[in-house]
Amino acid sequence: MAGAQSEVADLLSDLIRIDTTNTGDSATSAGERKAAEWVAAKLDEVGIDSVIHESEPGRANLVARIEGTNRDRPALLVHGHLDVVPADPAEWSVHPFSGEQRDGYVWGRGAVDMKDMDAMTLALVRDWARTGVKPDRDIVLAFVADEEAGGRKGAHFMVDHHADLFEGCTEAISEVGGFSITVRDDLRLYLVQTAEKGLAWMKLTAQGRPGHGSFVHEDNAVTRLAEAIARIGSTRLPTVLTPPMREFLDAVSDAYGVEIDPNDPDEALARLGSISRMIGAALRNTANPTMLDAGYKTNVIPGSASATVDGRFLYGQEAEFEKQLDELLGEGVSREWITYDQAVETTFDGPSVDLMVQALQAEDPGARAVPFTMSGGTDAKSFETLGMRCFGFSPLKLPADLDFASLFHGIDERISIDSMQFGIRVLDRFLRQA
Ligand SMILES: [Zn+2]
């Protein structure tokens, strides 16, 4: 693995320098084609063929298949997105698309989300190809567009139009999981993502009687909407412990030697530091008001007012979430989904999970792997529809004091080169046998 470990930082720097900002609008997004062609060239250098399919001009998705020695076994998918969220250079210590290497870190937009995993995967399969390593089962690689805007032009498109490329894939690994939280010197929790919340972005519309702003007026759409979103925004929905989070909390309880109140686990979670903001959201359905739109003149009461709310529901909680919302909305306020995507969940067991656990422990004797539910969404939602069990497993042994959660979409996003080298060693162990 020496070759892979020595080139991963440079691969990541090169990939960060290809600006693949996804604004959510194809007219202003760029770079995905260039990035996919760059990946294709890196694979081609070592004799791995790939295909690129575009959903729209420039929105490129690359797939390659590495044949395993045991072709009777089902395949495993490693997927990563090539797009990144925007970054404002004025806010950064280094230019976000410089890919600068400094103090043992690679800096730039995408360094943790998720060009790091893209580079680790590439470095590993290039090393395999150069040294003649073949995995046991087929490994399918997918480098896709548009994840940061919901994946319609990336993973969703590939699943809808090129499902044949994923033939035989029963399991998938990708981003947001496999990273460490340091409990103490000889104990680190590695969070493997086994579930993702569903996404229910909605528009609320309040109706009322339009009228003159100077009159006595008791049927005001703006007031009605404001009351509804105030209720939604200030209500903490009840805790629901799904299987992965139950297991996760047990592990936290064990690791820190604390009792966790199942009705109020948030206090115990605070021990995990900044990552608790992400984890805490996986203990309940959430709904956060995000945009408001009403009226056109100070002295005119409008007949309607609207707002958007970012709703996220746990696996199996769709119906309950709708009930919770309707209780909060009140009279005269209606809701409609703007964007809706399923929640996914698999179990933390089976031969592949055992191998993840073993691979982590072989590289870090203090590793304890635990499942968790991701509060956001990834392309796993798309690939799950083809029947794959999806895991967030991009292994990284992180420095104990690093505020990892804040680096996702954050300013000065960066990844330590050591962490990626560790990740390559774990992935090598895992993917060879998985
Ligand atoms: Zn991502």
pLDDT in tens, 42-74: 999 999 999 999 999 999 999 999 999 999 999
Q: Please give the domain boundaries of the chain with CATH numbers for all domains.
A: 4-176+376-433 (3.40.630.10), 195-341 (3.30.70.360)
Q: What is the mean pLDDT of residues 271-296?
A: 89
pLDDT beyond 90 at 326: yes
Distance 82 CA to ligand 1 centre (A): 9
Residue 254, C-beta contacts closer than 8 angstroms, at least 6 positions apart: none
- Cα–Cα distances in angstroms (integers) from residue 387 to residues 214, 328, 381, in the given order: 60, 35, 11
Distance 197 CA to ligand 1 centre (A): 15
The span from the CA of 218 to the CA of 331, in Å, is: 14
Residue 198 confidence (pLDDT): 96
Segment holding 245, helix H or strand E? helix 243-256
Q: Nearest Cα to 405, choosing from 87, 191, 186, 126?
A: 191
The span from the CA of 356 to the CA of 350, in Å, is: 10
Distance 136 CA to ligand 1 centre (A): 28
Residue with tokens 């592990």: 251
Q: What is the mean pLDDT of residues 9-38?
A: 94
CA dihedral 374, 380, 381, 383 (to 10 degrees): -160
Q: Nearest Cα to 220, choosing from 131, 145, 295, 135?
A: 295
Q: What percent of the chain has pLDDT over 90?
A: 85
Distance 340 CA to ligand 1 centre (A): 18
- Check: CB of residue 64 under 8 Å from CB of residue 71: no
Residue 119 confidence (pLDDT): 98
Q: How confident is the model at residue 25 (pLDDT cuts 50, 70, 90)?
A: confident
Angle of helix 221-234 versus helix 318-329 axis, rounded to 10: 130
Q: Rounded mean pLDDT of the chain?
A: 95
Q: How confident is the model at residue 370 (pLDDT cuts 50, 70, 90)?
A: very high
Distance 416 CA to ligand 1 centre (A): 17
Token readout for 398 is 């992180």
Q: How confident is the model at residue 264 (pLDDT cuts 50, 70, 90)?
A: confident
Distance 326 CA to ligand 1 centre (A): 32
Q: What is the mean pLDDT of residues 198-208?
A: 96
Distance 347 CA to ligand 1 centre (A): 22
Distance 81 CA to ligand 1 centre (A): 7
Distance 30 CA to ligand 1 centre (A): 17
Residue 401 confidence (pLDDT): 87
Distance 379 CA to ligand 1 centre (A): 8
Distance 285 CA to ligand 1 centre (A): 21
Angle of helix 32-44 versus helix 2-17 axis, rounded to 10: 160
Q: What is the mean pLDDT of residues 228-232?
A: 97
Residue 276 confidence (pLDDT): 81
Distance 376 CA to ligand 1 centre (A): 10
Distance 227 CA to ligand 1 centre (A): 35
Residue with tokens 């995993």: 117
Distance 80 CA to ligand 1 centre (A): 8
Distance 332 CA to ligand 1 centre (A): 38
Distance 260 CA to ligand 1 centre (A): 31
Query: pTM, whole model, 2 decimals?
Result: 0.92
The span from the CA of 314 to the CA of 198, in Å, is: 6
Q: How confident is the model at residue 243 (pLDDT cuts 50, 70, 90)?
A: very high
User: Max alpha carbon distance in the chain (Å)?
Assistant: 82
The span from the CA of 220 to the CA of 210, in Å, is: 7
Distance 213 CA to ligand 1 centre (A): 47
Q: How confident is the model at residue 273 (pLDDT cuts 50, 70, 90)?
A: confident
Distance 208 CA to ligand 1 centre (A): 41
Residue 1 confidence (pLDDT): 80
Better pLDDT: 63 or 256: 63
DSSP string, 302-345: -SEEEEEEEEEE-TT-HHHHHHHHHHHH-TTEEEEEEEEE--EE
Residue 57 confidence (pLDDT): 95
Distance 315 CA to ligand 1 centre (A): 20
At 68, which amino acid appears? G
The span from the CA of 62 to the CA of 40, in Å, is: 8
- Check: CB of residue 252 under 8 Å from CB of residue 280: no
Distance 85 CA to ligand 1 centre (A): 9
> What is the tens place of the pLDDT at every residue in 376-401?
899 999 999 999 999 999 999 999 98
Distance 108 CA to ligand 1 centre (A): 14
